[in-house]
A and B are shown apart, each in its own frame.
Chain A
Amino acid sequence: MSSHLESLVDLSAVDLGRKLRSKEVSCQEVTTAFLDRINAHDAKIGSFLALNQEECMSATKEAQQLIDSGEGGALCGVPIAVKDNISTKGLETTCASKILKGYIPPFDATVIKAVRRSGMPILGKTNMDEFAMGASTETSAYKIAHNPWDLERSPGGSSGGSAASVAARLAPISLGSDTGGSIRQPASLCGTVGFKPTYGRCSRYGLVAFASSLDQIGPFGRSVEDVAELAQVVTGYDPMDCTSRELGPISTKDLKNGSLKGTKVGIIKETLGEGTDGSVKSVFESAVSLLSQAGAQIEEVSIPSLNYGVTTYYIIAPAEASSNLARFDGIRYGPRSEGSGHVHMVEKTRAEGFGKEVKTRIMIGTYALSAGYYDAFYVRAQTVRAKMTQELNQAFSGFDVLISPTSPIPSFKLGSLMDDPLALKVLDFCTIPANMAGIPGISLNCGFTSGLPVGMQILAPQCQDEKLLQMAYCFEQTLPTILAWPDLG
């Protein structure tokens, strides 16, 4: 292979799109470059559960036609990796669970329709924690994913495969889903940008539900601009999702028109407490001083109810999950275990099909919704959620954006936290509030500690996704840039 083609994988998605439109490269060359790289290196990373080689190549032809006819958009012809909980017509969608082994959706998720319309070939489906329940991609029923920066470490989760594939340059861009931090946390651990839009700006139709009131699909990329362009493709009102907001797609028109000068930035005090690693704090604080030098007005702000975020999340999310996952009974799709009578059959199918973490959460959620416990758990959790939303909104009255470290720790050794479920769950401390309040959040790299990326999270008020991306773009210009992505040998 020529070095010209090898270097394609180094380009950002937007640059690839530009080269495609100027006919410097063809769609086929671009997609082939990434497929070849996946075939050569993904065994080390484990970011893909399934590849879509054939269909992907035929999609490149359609993309090329769009480009040739002058109708290709910014990302036309740019291949994409998709988290395995997003329904893809004709392509196995398992949520990294045995209970959906062999399940091929007969329809496309709304975001997938948009991706296909834009001429983005789908490389394959990415690894994840089973049903998005986890923060390390270790609960995947199929394989473990590795962090490209250190193969002995986790890429984070649950969208670990989507983050790792972008960091490893196996895909220029990808889609993940975020219920409590599942886009932002792995983005942070892998050094990529990861964006969770405002709840309702991106249709959930076709996203296999984990916790319906918290789930949101969003993009990963190696730059804010890449992520913003993909956000523009996949967002917008969808009549198939009645929780979808009646707003147009997220616009990238003013992405580069922002300035840090005079921007009011609030550092969320609670996220820099004892739970946050000293190394993360120091990288974060150096980044903050760079922002300050660039003219941002930075102050601390306290949001006391955030201390209840993890507890609240672990009531609401499992409660909704216990109901959302009830449909996996082996009757209409997926593997079915033999049993005597339907009750036994369903019990066995679920006992054999779900992994331990999923079962644990189903049990927690079932308990939280049970008569006699509902008020004490579910109703109270919703009350705290409302309080948290209110406190966040109040904080935004004094600040344009709020910032925090994305994850309290950098990437951790695989297996090191699996026996300590609580430690793993506390990793979502900084990211959960955005899901609770339905506000947009983004994570971008703000430096390294011992060779591991550290992410900064930026939060904005509901529906100010454009403003958030604009700020993130300014931050990106100010913060240190990743010059060399991991070399996979």
Chain B
Amino acid sequence: MASYLASVGMEVHAELSTNSKMFCRCPVAFGGEPNTRVCPICLGLPGTLPKPNKAAVIAVLRTALALNCKIAMHSIFHRKNYFYPDLPKGYQVSQYEETNPIGYHGYLDVPMQDGTLHRVRIRRVHLEEDTGKLIHLPGGGSGVDYNRAGVPLMEVVTDFPPDITNPEQAKEYLATLRQILIYLGVCDGKMEEGSLRCEPNISVRKETDEKLGNKTELKNLNSFKSVSLGVAFEVRRQIATIEAGERVVQETRGWNEAKEASYSMRIKEAENDYRYFPDPDLVPMEFEEAFIEELRASLPELPHVKRERYQSSLGLSPYDAGVLTSEKELAAYFEETVAMGGDPKLVCNWMTGELAKLLNESGQSITETKIRPSHILDLLKLLSSGSINGKTAKSVFAESFQSGRLPSDLVAESGATQISDSGAIDAAVQKVLGAHPDIVAKYKSGQTNVIGFLVGQVMKETQGRANPPMVQQAVKSALET
């Protein structure tokens, strides 16, 4: 079999988390009874006019800046004309790709599993409005829900020829982009609710060919897993098609999650003629340099910068830095705890260890848990002062996780503080040695490894509260006198 190269262009649509829709004041939210978040404007009633949502424009500007794009200082909305029942006006207000999208010529450095960065060039970032949704009615026939119609939608498109050449890159690109959108607070990133939608364009060609092969566009990818599975499937399918001596048909294909296979949706014989033209109901957007610079300066620290900083100035491992920056809230939690005086490495250990475990078991998120940064600090203090040992710390932490009470309060109440009083420890040691003369004899005959058993018994005698190094020392000296 010949060797093949794959090319994957990524078209990502992100619903912006604005309070209201793109051109009217209807609220933006997921779900709800059909047609309850509509008004004459988003229903396209005759005579209505669009009134642009500034927050949406700013969200796209910020995204474009975060994706290292150039900004069109003069940007216009176009009408994309086509008929479909979910499109109330018979056209979608969008931006024509050839001219003046808000952001263009950017790039995204995507961290790969092997630690390298893969640069994906961004062709454009533009703003448009979402359509409604067709609903197949149980009794037959179709209905349209326009709740989603007019929700601001941002489109991020990778450049051509594609920089993405395999399913892993496709998945990581999407994950990195999603993370940035969430960090910026412009999109909630929920793929399962459709607020982040990804449509890869996939083609393969023989290694010896210069020209890209016929591409297929893949729709209905509702998770990261389906993105990598879908791209991998298409690459395999297209290679098999060519190997069988057939041509890859240029078409739109759907992804069947259950069957893990793509299916033909519609054949694209020619490019649709959308008769784009500048929307005469909207005036051009003019951006001033100073305003753009202000936005650029106010961008939050982005995940890759944070990751780098956690490693270089806080001394975390690349893995830990990656985990803590994977979610904006996790990083914020970590930074708050460190700012309050927590040792970065210890805070990280507790967050990625016990806390992560408990969150995972309970299904809670970092913003929901009763464990706040102050709890972590309190616990670290108990440990560093030697008031409790590591074992006690874990059980106190678990209790604190349940009740939300401070570890120091719990410890004080239960008397669970560590026993570091040598008299008390010596008494316990004497008791244990007296109870196990056989073991003591073994030690004296040279089997010194039995000391572990004796130490364990002393810990048990003190309900685990004894200071372990002191116990070790006390047992040893008692045996050797």
Chain A residues lying within 8 Å of B46, measured Cβ to Cβ, are 87, 93, 95, 100, 103, 105, 208-209, 327-328, 333
The A-contacting residues of B in range 281-296, CB under 8 angstroms, are 281-283
Q: Residue A207 at the B interface, CB < 8 A? A: yes
Q: Are the C-beta atoms of B49 and A204 separated by less than 8 Å?
A: yes
Q: Are the C-beta atoms of B83 and A346 separated by less than 8 Å?
A: yes
Q: Residue B446 at the A interface, CB < 8 A? A: no
Q: Residue B51 at the A interface, CB < 8 A? A: yes
The answer for the CA separation of A86 and B282 in the assembled complex, in Å, is 20
Q: Residue B81 at the A interface, CB < 8 A? A: yes
User: Please, what's the 1-or-0 string for A28-45, where 1 marks a CB less than 8 Å from any CB in chain B?
Assistant: 000000000000000000
Chain B residues lying within 8 Å of A212, measured Cβ to Cβ, are 280-281
Stretch at the interface among B84-92, B176-184, B234-242, B387-395: B84-92
Q: Residue A332 at the B interface, CB < 8 A? A: yes
Instruction: Using known A-B contacts A103-B46, A105-B45, A242-B283, determine if residue A323 contacts B51 with beta carbons closer than 8 Å.
Output: no
* Interface residues on chain B, number (Cβ under 8 Å): 31
Q: Are the C-beta atoms of B81 and A329 separated by less than 8 Å?
A: no
Chain B residues lying within 8 Å of A206, measured Cβ to Cβ, are 47-48
11 contacts between A and B (CB under 8 A): A87-B46, A105-B40, A105-B47, A107-B48, A205-B49, A240-B49, A243-B280, A320-B280, A326-B83, A326-B90, A332-B45
A-B pairs, 5 with minimum CB distance? A326-B90, A369-B275, A212-B280, A213-B280, A208-B46
Q: Are the C-beta atoms of B144 and A374 separated by less than 8 Å?
A: no
Residue numbers of B with Cβ under 8 A of A are 40, 43-52, 79, 81, 83-85, 88-91, 142, 144, 271, 273, 275-277, 280-283
Q: Are the C-beta atoms of A371 and B48 separated by less than 8 Å?
A: no
Q: Residue A360 at the B interface, CB < 8 A? A: no
The B-contacting residues of A in range 73-94, CB under 8 angstroms, are 85-87, 93
Q: Are the C-beta atoms of B91 and A323 separated by less than 8 Å?
A: yes
Instruction: Using known A-B contacts A212-B280, A331-B144, A369-B277, determine if residue A106 contacts B45 with beta carbons closer than 8 Å.
Output: yes
Q: Are the C-beta atoms of A243 and B142 separated by less than 8 Å?
A: no
Q: Residue A268 at the B interface, CB < 8 A? A: no
The answer for the CA separation of A240 and B51 in the assembled complex, in Å, is 6
- Among B45, B52, B85, B275, the residue within 8 A (CB) of A366 is B275
The answer for the CA separation of A320 and B275 in the assembled complex, in Å, is 11
The answer for the CA separation of A109 and B90 in the assembled complex, in Å, is 21
The B-contacting residues of A in range 347-380, CB under 8 angstroms, are 366, 369-371, 374, 378
Instruction: Using known A-B contacts A243-B283, A329-B90, A370-B275, determine if residue A205 contacts B48 with beta carbons closer than 8 Å.
Output: yes
Chain A residues lying within 8 Å of B91, measured Cβ to Cβ, are 323, 326
The answer for the CA separation of A452 and B262 in the assembled complex, in Å, is 72
Q: Are the C-beta atoms of A332 and B88 separated by less than 8 Å?
A: yes
The answer for the CA separation of A326 and B90 in the assembled complex, in Å, is 5
Report A365 CB to chain B, min CB distance, Å.
9
The answer for the CA separation of A318 and B216 in the assembled complex, in Å, is 36
The answer for the CA separation of A369 and B49 in the assembled complex, in Å, is 21
Chain A residues lying within 8 Å of B88, measured Cβ to Cβ, are 327, 332
Q: Are the C-beta atoms of B47 and A109 separated by less than 8 Å?
A: yes
Q: Residue A319 at the B interface, CB < 8 A? A: yes
The answer for the CA separation of A328 and B46 in the assembled complex, in Å, is 9
Q: Residue A239 at the B interface, CB < 8 A? A: yes
Q: Residue A342 at the B interface, CB < 8 A? A: yes
The answer for the CA separation of A322 and B90 in the assembled complex, in Å, is 10
Q: Are the C-beta atoms of B85 and A329 separated by less than 8 Å?
A: yes
- Among B47, B85, B273, the residue within 8 A (CB) of A205 is B47
The answer for the CA separation of A327 and B91 in the assembled complex, in Å, is 8
Closest to B35 in A: A332
Chain B residues lying within 8 Å of A211, measured Cβ to Cβ, are 280
Q: Residue A55 at the B interface, CB < 8 A? A: no
Q: Residue A241 at the B interface, CB < 8 A? A: yes
The B-contacting residues of A in range 173-224, CB under 8 angstroms, are 204-209, 211-213
Q: Are the C-beta atoms of B281 and A326 separated by less than 8 Å?
A: no
Q: Are the C-beta atoms of B85 and A243 separated by less than 8 Å?
A: no
Q: Are the C-beta atoms of B83 and A329 separated by less than 8 Å?
A: yes
Q: Are the C-beta atoms of B275 and A331 separated by less than 8 Å?
A: no
Closest to B146 in A: A332
